[in-house]
Each structure stands twice: as structure tokens, then as C-alpha cells.
Chain A
Amino acid sequence: MTEFETVIGLEVHVELGTQTKIFCGCAVEFGAPPNTHVCPVCLGSPGALPVLNEEALKLAIRAALALNCTVRQESKFDRKNYFYPDSPKAYQISQYDEPVGEHGFIEITVQGEKKRIGITRVHLEEDAGKLTHSPYGDASLVDLNRVGIPLIEIVSEPDLRTAEEARLYLEELKSIMQYCAISECKMEEGSLRCDANISLREVGQRELGTKTEIKNMNSFRNVQRGLEYEEQRQKKMLLKNEKIVQQTMRFHEESGATVAMRSKEDAHDYRYFPEPDLPRISLSREYSEERRAEIPELPAERRQRFVEVYGLPLYDAEVLTVTKALADYFDGTASRVRDPKSASNWIMGDLLAHVKANGLEMEQVRVKPEQLAELIGVIEKGTISSKIAKNVLKEMLDSGKDAKVIIEEQGLIQISDEGQLREIALRIIATNKKSVEDFKAGKEKALGALVGQMMKETKGKANPQLVNQIMLALISD
């Protein structure tokens, strides 16, 4: 049976986090009432002239550098011509043969192996308007608020071999964009969008097979689903000696299937030409270096540092570096405690559960890293037990109070006084003769029951290790 190799390349559009549009001063606001952020530039009115937003350029260059691209010292804008109601000018201002960045890469980890995925190019362009179908029949409605929102398009090399790799690439890309404060990358709001090209070829064959393009995948999971479906569809056709038609497929979320949208033919003659309304872009080396200096430690480096410096398991490092805010939080906590793994446990456990349950952003968590570190410190010192600490943390998350304040207010300090514990233990032994006999008869579980009684008696405040020791010593006599 013929063996096939899958070849995938992704085109990702990322909305740049600017205040205003790329070529005019209209505000960028998601979910605003239709046509409230529109001006003559957005409308393509005769005589209206675009002027480039300096912040959009900065973010695009920062993104290109974060993706290891070479930044072109000279670049320009071009017009991509097409007729569609989402673009009143009948062209999109984009970049054709002189993109701001090219020849980059990012690294993903596939089943423990590092793999480099090439980035062909990063270019700046404007977004188009939004079309919806009229609820009253045979018409489409056009909202031009989105026209002119700055985007970068990031085109990968066809280096991806599985749908899973595509998802990993997207996750890494999103993290990098978020770390660099380039975009919020909210797929549900369209600030990150992904189209995928996929083709199959026989293993060992050099030239690429005929590809299809999949659109409308609105989550990373759906990108993977859509690609997996399309991979199987093409494979079945090739096995039956059928020809793949180069066309655009639409991902259908409910069924998980891909459905043909339109065939390409001459639809893609965009007749690019240089945009005469915008001067060329010429960037000094200093300008690029300033942008490079804005790039923080990126997720891959950070994961590695968490493993090497803090001694975290790779899994912990991966979870904690998904967003910069979370990674900063961990750094802030771990650097203040003796055992960084305990910081990881508290954050990945109780803290993230709280964040998730309440739909919070890390910035909204009322407990600051230094406060969590203080809590871990009092556990390490033995002032309170881990079990009590869970309740203290809960209280901290609700009130924002310091651990020490809560411990004092509620009298939660752990009882580690041996004399006091021995006294309580003797009392428990006196009233639980059965358990003591059971233990002496070889039922080791009975010890647990006695310890449990002691914890109950002290409202969980007894130092569990000491309780164990003392109780064992007393009943083993």
C-alpha cells in the first residue's frame, strides 16, 4: 500500500494591539456598534489619503524579530486588487514583494524532539470589513469598523507534517505574540486567524502534491480537526487514483468536515502594484535594534530556564509559561521560596483552579506573588500545615489579605509543642482503646484513625509529622 506524507503550511493573521487603525485615526474597538469607527480613509472616499500608524510598524518589526526574521531595511506597500463588499476601495493595502520580515523560524517540540518550522515572511496589511447576512432576506450587510485594523500575516514554510504539529506551531506562535505584547491573539474575537494549506505526496517524492486551503477554523483544536479530516479525505482520493482539485475548503464545525467553497482558477489574479499613496519604508539598524530590545525572554527560553534554574519538571514548565503573566507570577513566587517546586504546585493547583473557576486573568488575582511566597514560607517553617494552608490561600484569594494576618486572626498556628501534643495523644488513646488494641494486633491502619482523631481534636492545627511520631511511640510501648 502506498505510504503518504502530509505537507502543511499555515497562514496566520494577527491583529496588532494598537489604539487606532493602520492608516487613519479611527479607534480600534472590538464589538462596537456597526460603522461607528469609520472615516473617509476607511470608506475609500476619493482624495482620502492613508498615513501609516507608527505603533503598527513598531509592532510588526518586533514580531518579525521575535520570529527570527531578517528585517528588510527597505520595504513598501502594495495594492492587492479585488472586488468584494468588504473592501470599499476595491483593494487591500498589503505588502507583496518587500515584506517587512522574511526567512525566520520558530521551534516547536514534537514528542520530545525539537523541530524548526520556517517562517517565509511577515508582512503588514489592513483588515477588511465584516459581512453578515441580512435577517430580512436576500442581502448582505456591511460593517466597516474592521476595515483598516492593522494586521500582520505570518506565512510558514510547508514544514509541518501532521495536524498536531500545526497546532503546536500555532500555540507557540500565539505565546510569542502575547509575550511580546503584539496582540491579544483572541481567536474567538478574530484577533488571531488561521488558514491552512495541506497536500499529500508519496513518501520519498520530492515535488509537492496538489494542495487545498482550509478556512474558517476558529480554534486551535478545530485547526487540528480540519487538517485531520482533510488529510484523510485527500488520502482516500489518492488511493482511488482520483485527482485532488486545488480549491478552498471551508471547515464545518458541527460535522468536523471540510467542504469545498470555490475553485481558484483566475480568481486570484490580484494585479498587485505599488501603493502610490504611501511612501516607502526605510528602517535604520538602530530602529530594528530598539525593537529587538523590546522583546522579552520568549516562552521557549523561559521553559528551559524554569527546568534548569528552578529544577521544575518539563510539564510544569510548559504549563507555567503558556502566558507571560503566569510565567511572571511563577518567577515572582519561586524566586522568594526555598523550594520552587512547591511554588509550582500551589500555582498549578489551587491558584489556577481559582483563576479558572472565576474566569479571571492572572492580573486580576488578588494574591500577589510575594504574598503566595510568604504563605509557602510559613508552611516551610512549620507554622501551619499544608492542609490548613489550602484554606488560608482560599481566604487570601477572596480577601487579598496576607497569610500571616489570616493565620493570626483565626488562630491557625500549627501546634508543634511536643508536650502539648503528647498530652492530647494520651487523652485520645484513653478514649479509643479499641483502636490501640487493633494496632497492637497488627492492624496498622488503626494508627491512621488515632492520628485522625488528634487532627480533629486540634482542628487540623497539629503538626501531622509530630503527631505521627508521638502517637506511634506511645502505642508501640
Chain B
Amino acid sequence: MSLTKDDVYRVAALARLQVNEEEIEALVSDLSRILKYADQLQQLDLMGVKPMSYVLATHTVTRPDVIGSSLTPEEALTNGPDVEEQQFRVPAVLEG
């Protein structure tokens, strides 16, 4: 399976990445090669092999429902670009 420039632009837009003209050809070819490799893997006969979504053998790891420590609001907001009324201040977004 090979990709078009438009596919790459679309994927980049979904990931909020800016891609310029010079980069696009290289990305199309790199991503196409990755997909080709995936195609190759698809040819393996995996009948009877369970799909794997997690690499470790551990499962159902839980913690008790007990309140632990939180940051102070000052700490929590330290890395925010802008703060107002103890909240992160971001460019106005439309009702979503």
C-alpha cells in the first residue's frame, strides 16, 4: 500500500503537525515503506495466534480506591502558558 501526498497532509493535520513542501516527499516515501513492511507482516500465517494489544504478561493491575496526594494548584499551574483565576488560560475555544 502506498500513500499520496494528500494522505500524509491529512495525517499530519490530525496530529497537529506542520509539514512543508520540502519534507513531504521524504515523508511519503518513509511512511509508504513502513506500510509496506506492515503488508509483509500481514502475509504471515497467524492462524491460532491471539492478537496482541499489550506486550507484557501482566494483566488487571489495579489500585485501591484510596485518596492520595494531589499537587497544589500553584504547582499544577506552573507549566501553563498563562493563568487566570487559578485556571489555565487558553485561546478562546468555541463551545465544543
Contacts and interface: CB of A to CB of B under 8 A. Distances in A.
A477 interface: no
A10 B87 CA distance: 33
Contacts of B67: 19-20, 25-27
Contacts of A84: 93, 96
A36 B70 CA distance: 7
Given A85-B93, A142-B88, A38 B76 contact: yes
A27 B16 CA distance: 32
B68 A85 contact: no
A282 B53 CA distance: 13
Q: Interface extent on A, as a size class?
A: 35 or more
A44 to B, nearest CB: 11
B84 interface: yes
Interface string B85-96: 111111111111
B70 A37 contact: yes
A131 B67 CA distance: 25
A38 B73 contact: yes
Contact of A33 (B16, B61, B86): B86
B85 A34 contact: yes
A279 B58 contact: yes
B62 A39 contact: no
Contacts of A54: 62-65
A208 interface: no
Interface in A102-139: 131-134, 136, 138-139
A142 B88 CA distance: 5
Nearest to A282: B59
B41 to A, nearest CB: 16
B76 A53 contact: no
Given A25-B67, A279-B60, A250 B95 contact: yes
Contacts of A140: 89-93
Contacts of B92: 133-134, 138-140
A245 interface: no
A475 interface: no
A52 B60 CA distance: 8
A136 B54 contact: no
A57 interface: yes
A40 interface: yes
Contact of A85 (B10, B58, B90): B90
A84 B90 CA distance: 10
A413 interface: no
Contact of A142 (B55, B90, B96): B90
Contacts of A36: 70, 73
Contacts of A261: 95-96
Contact of A53 (B62, B71, B88): B62
Contacts of A18: 65
A271 B59 contact: no
B88 A282 contact: no
A451 interface: no
A39 B86 contact: no
B60 A141 contact: no
Contact of B65 (A37, A53, A143, A250): A53
A280 B54 contact: yes
Nearest to A277: B54
B49 interface: no
Given A33-B73, A274-B54, A279-B59, A269 B14 contact: yes
Contacts of A138: 91-92
Interface string A372-416: 000000000000000000000000000000000000000000000
B46 interface: no
Interface string B21-64: 00000000000000000000000000000000111101111111
Given A25-B67, A43-B76, A144-B76, A134 B59 contact: no
Nearest to B64: A54
Given A26-B70, A27-B70, A141-B85, A279 B56 contact: yes
A52 B61 contact: yes
A378 to B, nearest CB: 46
Nearest to A274: B53
A139 B91 contact: yes
B8 interface: no
A273 to B, nearest CB: 9
Given A131-B96, A134-B85, A141-B90, 5 more contacts: A36-B73, A141-B88, A266-B14, A271-B14, A279-B58
Closest 9 pairs between A and B when the two form their complex, measured CB to CB = A25-B68, A55-B65, A54-B62, A141-B87, A274-B53, A142-B88, A38-B76, A282-B59, A35-B73
Interface of B: 10, 14, 16, 53-56, 58-71, 73, 76-77, 79, 82, 84-96
13 contacts: A27-B67, A34-B86, A35-B76, A39-B68, A52-B61, A76-B53, A86-B96, A142-B90, A144-B76, A261-B96, A266-B10, A278-B54, A281-B59
